[in-house]
Structure 1
């Protein structure tokens, strides 16, 4: 495809993303499935153009408002070409020429736009900090309360692209085995700094087409997500629940730590996710996992199994603010519940899941959020109302066999700026060994887990 044809296709894709109430990655996948004639290289270029617009969303809108132009898909692509892409006004006009497969010629209003933006750059000293750092209004106050005077630096650390990390499955091979297998496929991988079984790729690669992936030796998983799974310190022979298992990434890591011994129960309210996860479990050669669909966090299955498990991992539904590098559209697309709905839901899930853990056992509460009220705030509230639990500091919770703990704090908090991982939080809560297991009673205040997943935000059309 010509550069002009890619711009035209990117504009069409951006319009679909803006008009479709689904995550951008799902819309993008469907868009390309319907256009199989577009080659892999062109798909990558087109997706990069669209994701670039989403990464620059607030700043592009700031500029378009400044020059009094509506932020429609064409205007956003045009502005991004100049402000982020460094193209001149004349170069942009040459691409929007109406030739075959090229975008339609610029209107008089669009010609005025490119002249107003010519030689400008994406950043401007008059932009508010939230605009500079691409922080949406719904998250700004919480992020400022969380980071204080580090707000701009931490938020700016989420502007780039996330790296591509892999987790080596110790049931199928060592990290050295995986590095060699990837090298044989022409892909360079280096050990991650914090995860003892993590690899980071130098660039993008078709990982799922590789034999190392198909055989289950490697899985795609952010280094931060790996660390959260390891916080469970799940040992061979234990009984473990992954309470909000989703697609099963942490389930896989936990089951592998247990060397295929013991029992891992993956539960979720979305049965389809568990069904899809089963193929991942089979590919990894892990046979100590079973799945259990539940209707709500207070499903009768929870009451029947109270006090039965050594470890319970609660990767709670959250705002997803820690994944903004990976999902830039989630800043702007409200596809699920907001913070007001999420906070009581998280508290209810943690309260109910904690019933599953035996005296002396542990609960790991985790989110992919950087906001304090979803993280430390929830843990503090839980401990205040559950005197039979105590916080286990990260150095004490970290598996001794896995080397130095990633942080020396009481709770695990990872951010893109400081750790170059997705933003993750985890806290380990241990039940007193002499704590009684309460008898089953009526469950009050049930909160149904919504199917929308993490709260995300939608760009205005």
Structure 2
């Protein structure tokens, strides 16, 4: 593709994303490129990088476009990105839109005026309100300010960075040393993780789904923070474990390895496609002690299985503020109304899952959110409603899980962030039910 054609395709991809505001951008991009198989690998990477670069800076770009009186369109977002992020002059930026039938079309007089108005403007200027200056949506700003206080700017900057590719060695197929050797034999350069004893990290994304180590089930893609949450379940061989919001079963896979394929894990979710994907992953990983269950309206699962599980993991649906490095579109896709709905859903899920824990068992509540209202405030609400539950301090839970060294953060719960720990943002509380 010509350079102009690449920019035109990025604008088309952004059109698709903005036209479907409730759908994740990565799913839209998968459909976009599937329908355009003629786009080669290097072109695809350029188009994706440009579109994701715009999405990563969308809040700031939109603020500046509004400031100069321009409409918010994919073309103008790309134009603003070229000037404010890449530092091009208006004439240089304009050439990226040309190219005849393969280009996006030359800039008109109004668009040239917008380009001129943006020249010399800092991407994150002092004139901007703090939320857009830090690239944070207004609905999430109060909670993040309450969480981080004086370190908010540092944490916000880390949430803008590109995330590494984190992998977990599947101990049902081999240990971390075996995974390390296999990946290095493929020409990759992973390094052992800082906290997870089974984790490996690649600094940049790679086509890992085509790796023999992945196809053979020796490794799984999983953020280090997610690996630590699965470890804090402290599942042991012979236990009955419930992964109540299992999704594609990433944590189920890690828990099965801790259980050495002995005992029983039940992976539940409300999405049949996600559970179908989970079944395939479980099979590839060599997991034999797991079953899946589709939760449906009127389902009597919780009533039938009340008080029967040694461990119940609730990886609750949340705003995903801790994953913005990987999902930059979520900054704009999620709203304050979504947060309110999720808070109600989290309380409902916690109330149901608490019933499933046997006396003496544990409830592990986790989110990939950095907002206190989705994290410790939800835990406190459950503790107030169910006095038979108490908190297992993080240091104690960390040691019981057999994780190396000291727990990575103070306080009773696990709270990970990109700036402080190099992981996605995660929260995890370990609760115990009185015997």
Deviation string 1:68-101 (CA, Å, 9 cap, x unpaired) is 2112110110110111112222211222224241
Please say if residues 131 and 137 of structure 2, whose CA atoms lie closer than 8 Å, have aligned partners that are also in contact. Answer: yes
Structure 1 residue 335, shift from structure 2 partner: 8.3
Instruction: Tell me how far apart the structure 2 counterparts of residues 312 and 123 of structure 1 sit (CA, whole Å).
Output: 44
Instruction: Tell me how far apart the structure 2 counterparts of residues 343 and 409 of structure 1 sit (CA, whole Å).
Output: 23
What aligned pairs does 1:268-307 form with structure 2 within 5 A after superposition? 268-296=269-297, 299-307=299-307
Q: Is the partner of 2:402 in helix, strand or coil?
A: helix
Structure 1 residue 408, shift from structure 2 partner: 4.2
- Partner residue in 2 for 1:411: 413
Q: Is the partner of 1:22 in helix, strand or coil?
A: coil
Q: Is the partner of 2:160 in helix, strand or coil?
A: coil
- Partner residue in 2 for 1:207: 208
- Partner residue in 1 for 2:393: 393
Instruction: Tell me how far apart the structure 2 counterparts of residues 26 and 110 of structure 1 sit (CA, whole Å).
Output: 30
Instruction: Tell me how far apart the structure 2 counterparts of residues 400 and 29 of structure 1 sit (CA, whole Å).
Output: 38
Moved over 4 A (4+): none
- Partner residue in 2 for 1:230: 231
Instruction: Tell me how far apart the structure 2 counterparts of residues 190 and 220 of structure 1 sit (CA, whole Å).
Output: 14
- Partner residue in 2 for 1:140: 141
Please say if residues 86 and 121 of structure 1, whose CA atoms lie closer than 8 Å, have aligned partners that are also in contact. Answer: no
Q: Is the partner of 2:28 in helix, strand or coil?
A: helix
- Partner residue in 2 for 1:218: 219
Structure 1 residue 198, shift from structure 2 partner: 0.8
Answering whether residue 98 of structure 2 is matched by residue 91 of structure 1, we say no
Structure 1 residue 62, shift from structure 2 partner: 1.8
Instruction: Tell me how far apart the structure 1 counterparts of residues 2 and 230 of structure 2 sit (CA, whole Å).
Output: 45
Deviation string 1:342-366 (CA, Å, 9 cap, x unpaired) is 2121111111111111111100011
Q: Is the partner of 2:310 in helix, strand or coil?
A: strand
Answering whether residue 258 of structure 2 is matched by residue 250 of structure 1, we say no
Instruction: Tell me how far apart the structure 2 counterparts of residues 337 and 253 of structure 1 sit (CA, whole Å).
Output: 33
Instruction: Tell me how far apart the structure 1 counterparts of residues 415 and 299 of structure 2 sit (CA, whole Å).
Output: 30
Instruction: Tell me how far apart the structure 2 counterparts of residues 409 and 238 of structure 1 sit (CA, whole Å).
Output: 28
Please say if residues 415 and 427 of structure 2, whose CA atoms lie closer than 8 Å, have aligned partners that are also in contact. Answer: yes
- Partner residue in 2 for 1:64: 65
- Partner residue in 2 for 1:382: 382
Could you say if the C-alpha distance between residues 335 and 131 of structure 1 is closer, same or farther in structure 2, counting changes exceeding 3 Å? closer
- Partner residue in 1 for 2:354: 354
Instruction: Tell me how far apart the structure 1 counterparts of residues 266 and 380 of structure 2 sit (CA, whole Å).
Output: 27
Please say if residues 232 and 401 of structure 2, whose CA atoms lie closer than 8 Å, have aligned partners that are also in contact. Answer: no
Please say if residues 412 and 427 of structure 1, whose CA atoms lie closer than 8 Å, have aligned partners that are also in contact. Answer: yes
Give TM-score scaled by structure 1 length: 0.91
Instruction: Tell me how far apart the structure 1 counterparts of residues 341 and 205 of structure 2 sit (CA, whole Å).
Output: 36
Answering whether residue 160 of structure 2 is matched by residue 159 of structure 1, we say yes
Deviation string 1:386-435 (CA, Å, 9 cap, x unpaired) is 111110011211245332233343100111111111111000000112xx
Instruction: Tell me how far apart the structure 1 counterparts of residues 27 and 206 of structure 2 sit (CA, whole Å).
Output: 19
Answering whether residue 171 of structure 2 is matched by residue 170 of structure 1, we say yes
Could you say if the C-alpha distance between residues 331 and 254 of structure 1 is closer, same or farther in structure 2, counting changes exceeding 3 Å? same
Instruction: Tell me how far apart the structure 1 counterparts of residues 336 and 374 of structure 2 sit (CA, whole Å).
Output: 16
In structure 1, the gaps of 5 or more residues are 434-461
Q: Which moved more, 1:58-67 or 1:242-251?
A: 58-67
Structure 1 residue 339, shift from structure 2 partner: 1.8
Q: Is the partner of 1:402 in helix, strand or coil?
A: coil
Please say if residues 129 and 152 of structure 1, whose CA atoms lie closer than 8 Å, have aligned partners that are also in contact. Answer: no
What aligned pairs does 1:31-70 form with structure 2 within 5 A after superposition? 31-70=32-71
In structure 2, the gaps of 5 or more residues are none
Instruction: Tell me how far apart the structure 2 counterparts of residues 254 and 281 of structure 1 sit (CA, whole Å).
Output: 11
Please say if residues 133 and 159 of structure 1, whose CA atoms lie closer than 8 Å, have aligned partners that are also in contact. Answer: no
What aligned pairs does 1:437-448 form with structure 2 within 5 A after superposition? none
What aligned pairs does 1:79-118 form with structure 2 within 5 A after superposition? 79-118=80-119
Q: Give the count of matched residue pairs.
A: 432
Please say if residues 324 and 330 of structure 1, whose CA atoms lie closer than 8 Å, have aligned partners that are also in contact. Answer: yes
Deviation string 1:267-311 (CA, Å, 9 cap, x unpaired) is 111122111110000000010100111225x73111111111110
Instruction: Tell me how far apart the structure 2 counterparts of residues 313 and 336 of structure 1 sit (CA, whole Å).
Output: 26
